[in-house]
Amino acid sequence: MRKFLKMLTSRLVTVSVLIFIQFVIIAFVALLPGRFFAIYYAVTIVIGFAFVLRIITRRENPGYKIGWIVLVLLLPPFGVAVYLVFHGNTASARMKRKMADINGRMARAIALDDGGGAVRIDDPTAKKQSEYIKNLASNPPYSDCDVRYYPTGESMYDDFLAALRGAEKYIFLEYFIVGPGSMWDDIHAILLDKARAGVDVRLIYDDFGSINYLPYNFAKTLEKEGIKCRVFNRYIPLIYPRLNNRDHRKICSVDGKVAFTGGFNIADEYINRIVRFGYWKDNAVRVEGRAAWSFTVMFLSMWEYFEPSTGGEDGYAPYKPGSFPEFAGGGVIQPYQDNPADDVATGEAIYLNMIYGAKKYIWITTPYLVIDYQIEQALCCAAGSGVDVRIVTPAIPDKPMVFESTKAHYEKLVRSGVRLYEFTPGFLHAKTFIADGEIATVGTVNLDYRSLYLHFECGLWMYRSAAIDDVKRDFDELFGVSREITPEDCKVGLFKRICRSLIELIAPMI
């Protein structure tokens, strides 16, 4: 009972209820009948059609358009009102202008390092992919770095702590979730020691991601301890367009020489010190060398979002190491970042390029499979052309509604030759692609609308890196503990089919 009361009085529930009340007020005002209701409704229908034309002509994902068009046409007054509030769930014009300036300075700051000189990529498809990342995400490729792949959060953890302990100048952390527990206690103790020793320690966390874990004044508490802390996009009791734009990135940069990214957050379930939804399968990569500078600048660009810099890209220069360790024979790696403010879906483009470019196989892990027609067709076309397409999703979901949306895609994919697996030991949180044993990416981008279009994300693209062998080995082991979905598994009753269709319809909007 105490736990239930605590949940009811939590900030997440309180703010969500206040937002819901605002939706009720909007619906009441929009649908309020009166003496001239017939005329009012006719006018709103005309306005609704006008907004449908506006939605159709917007340069957005078709999935968004369909969802909003249905809402506007079914409930013209309410649908129009909600659409005006959320502007199609895209980043606000102010955020776009601000991030455009920051991204320009970020690109010039990354250019302070030349990527280690000429980088050779023999495969034409991979070369085009690398050029895309360089031109659109402003991140160059590197060929003189060391990459280590970790198949689980706990296999990464000791190296993660060792990197923090080895910091001499700065520690930059940016995570969607920071939660209390033994993992945070270990990290917090190191951060305190380093801050007291004069190391520049900074933390960015997403408010919505951490809302069930952290108190409202958590950032102020850290500031008093000497740890600089910023909270991304406070979840406040007000309907506003940026509500859905979250910082989903996971970045740790130490002195600009070592960096970590991947699916893991700072909470005990990510290293299986507590059990949530069975065994928690995640992964990570550690980068040492010049490529770590790209992750450093990504962090600094987000920090600049909170504290605008007067020094431009020169303000990044003091954080650039004077020299980098160099490694031979490591293949090519390329960090990348994605954000909803530049109208370029970098994460989606990287995934699509890998799917269409695969010659022998493309294997994928994702916690959520909430995809649009474009990605679904790419997967089906690849399988139809003889490519071994495999996707592994969790058998135990963390979000039942999203799980049903994932299952809604099973039938068509299986019928088209895509092999689907469910990770039976528990929840699979890794976001990994591997193609032909030569190209892979590990990062934070889920195969869902939020990650692909609404969130700030990041990842590491790899070409002929030795770490790719470890990624493939992880997949081989994963298939061994996962259950393959059969055509019989895809057959469901009429009621569930209708429910999944409705969930699919609103998937881009939730």
Q: What is the CATH number of the domain that holds 384?
A: 3.30.870.10
Which residues constitute the domain of residue 27?
2-89
Angstrom CA distances, 248 to 47, 139, 312, stand at 36, 19, 25
Q: Is residue 307 part of a domain?
A: yes
CA 14-15-21 angle, 5° bins: 95
More confident residue, 495 or 474: 474
* Structural domain ending residue among the three candidates 290, 305, 330: 330
Q: What is the pLDDT of residue 117?
A: 55
Per-residue pLDDT, averaged over 455-462, amounts to 95
- 151 shares its domain with 23: no
Query: How many domains are contained in the chain?
Result: 3
* Within-domain flag for 336: no
288 and 227 in a common domain: yes
Q: Clarify whether residues 109 and 60 are in a common domain.
A: no
Per-residue pLDDT averaged across 311-329, rounded?
Answer: 76
pLDDT band at 36, cuts 50/70/90? low
Is the domain of 108 the same as that of 196?
Answer: yes
Task: Examine the domain organization and report whether 173 and 116 are in the same domain.
Answer: yes
Give the separation between CA 417 and CA 414, rounded to whole angstroms: 5
**Residue 156 pLDDT grade (very low, low, confident, very high; cuts 50, 70, 90):** very high
Are residues 499 and 475 part of one domain? yes
pLDDT for the residue numbered 235: 81
- Give the pLDDT band of residue 162 (cuts 50, 70, 90): very high
CA distances from 317 to 98, 113, 137, 164, 309 (A): 21, 10, 20, 22, 12
pTM for the complete prediction? Answer: 0.88
Would 271 be classed as within a structural domain? yes
Q: Parallel, antiparallel, or unpaired: how do β-strands 388-394 and 361-365 relate?
A: parallel
Asked whether residue 69 is domain-assigned, the answer is yes
With H, G, I as helix, E, B as strand and everything else as coil, classify residue 336: strand
Q: Are 263 and 392 part of one and the same domain?
A: no
Give tens-digit pLDDT for 430-445.
999 999 999 999 999 9
pLDDT bin (cut points 50, 70, 90) of residue 328 is confident
Planar angle of CA 380, 381, 385, nearest 5 degrees: 115
- Pair (407, 350) in one structural domain: yes
> What confidence score (pLDDT) does residue 492 get?
78
Do residues 373 and 477 both lie within one domain? yes
Task: Answer with the one of 286, 301, 330 that is the final residue of a domain.
Answer: 330
Confidence of residue 244 (pLDDT cuts 50, 70, 90): confident
In a domain, 337, yes or no: no
Residue 128 above 70 pLDDT? yes
User: Which one of 330, 363, 383 terminates a domain?
Assistant: 330
Q: Establish if 101 belongs to a structural domain.
A: yes
Query: What is the pLDDT at residue 54?
Result: 73
Are 183 and 285 in the same domain? yes
Is the residue at 138 inside a domain? no
* In a domain? residue 136: no
Q: What is the pLDDT of residues 75-110, one digit of tens each?
A: 676 677 667 666 554 556 666 666 666 777 777 777
Compute the C-alpha angle 242/243/248, nearest 5°. 90
Shared domain for 266 and 364, answered yes or no, is: no
* Shared-domain flag, residues 381 and 444: yes
How is 218-261 classified by DSSP, letter by letter?
Answer: HHHHHHHTT-EEEEES---SS--GGGG--B---EEEETTTEEEE
Of 44-53, 222-231, 253-262, the poorest mean pLDDT is in 44-53
